């Protein structure tokens, strides 16, 4: 796997480390940011039995992030800056948002990509109990912006 992916993964795991099952998180139980749903589908794709996401290995985490997020978002075809922005967005907000934010950024303005993501977070925070996550989301986004501009 390429060096840029490894750097991007290290960034993501800084924010997605460990097992969490917050009742307010719509993704449900996660470990290293991988939801139980994603892990179950990953295992099924190899004909393997159900395992609790608590037991996911670091190697499985790396493989899932590489195949299901890095490659599916097209990060390997992007500039380093957009690759890390797109990868972290795919992980945190889903693959569909990547294209939405790339379009908002005219595929060339990272600051517009970040602004579109910020607006989406603010929109999410208006619904139900999601506001409790806004500060963390914005902290992550600020850290991502610093990381992306350092590449």
The model's pLDDT over 33-48, given as tens digits with 9 standing for 90+, comes to: 999 999 999 999 999 9
CA distances from 138 to 35, 50, 122 (A): 21, 34, 9
Average pLDDT score over residue span 42-58: 97
**pLDDT per position as a tens digit, 64-114:** 999 999 999 999 999 999 999 999 999 999 999 999 999 999 999 999 999
Residue 130 to residue 17: CA distance in whole angstroms: 20
Q: Give domain 3-149's CATH number out of 1.10.357.10, 3.30.70.1290, 1.20.141.10, 1.10.3720.10.
A: 1.20.141.10
Give pLDDT, residue 37.
Answer: 95
Give pLDDT, residue 1.
Answer: 62
Q: Where are the alpha helices (DSSP H) in the chain?
A: 3-16, 36-45, 58-64, 80-93, 95-104, 110-124, 134-149
**pLDDT per position as a tens digit, 127-140:** 888 899 999 999 99
Q: Is the pLDDT of residue 22 over 90?
A: no
On the 0-12 / 13-18 / 19+ scale of CB atoms within 10 A, 115 is middle
């Amino acid at each position: 796997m390429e060096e840029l992916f490894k750097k991007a993964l290290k960034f993501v795991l800084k924010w997605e480390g460990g097992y969490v099952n917050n009742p307010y998180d719509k993704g449900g139980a996660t470990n290293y940011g991988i939801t139980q749903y994603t892990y179950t589908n990953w295992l099924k794709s190899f004909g393997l039995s159900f395992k609790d996401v608590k037991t996911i290995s670091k190697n499985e985490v790396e493989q899932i992030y590489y195949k299901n997020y890095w490659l599916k978002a097209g990060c390997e075809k992007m500039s380093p800056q957009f690759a890390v922005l797109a990868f972290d967005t795919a992980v945190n907000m889903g693959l569909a948002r990547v294209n939405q934010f790339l379009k908002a950024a005219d595929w060339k303005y990272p600051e517009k990509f970040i602004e579109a993501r910020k607006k989406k977070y603010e929109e999410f925070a208006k619904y139900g109990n999601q506001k409790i996550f806004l500060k963390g989301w914005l902290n992550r986004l600020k850290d991502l912006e610093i990381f992306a501009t350092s590449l």
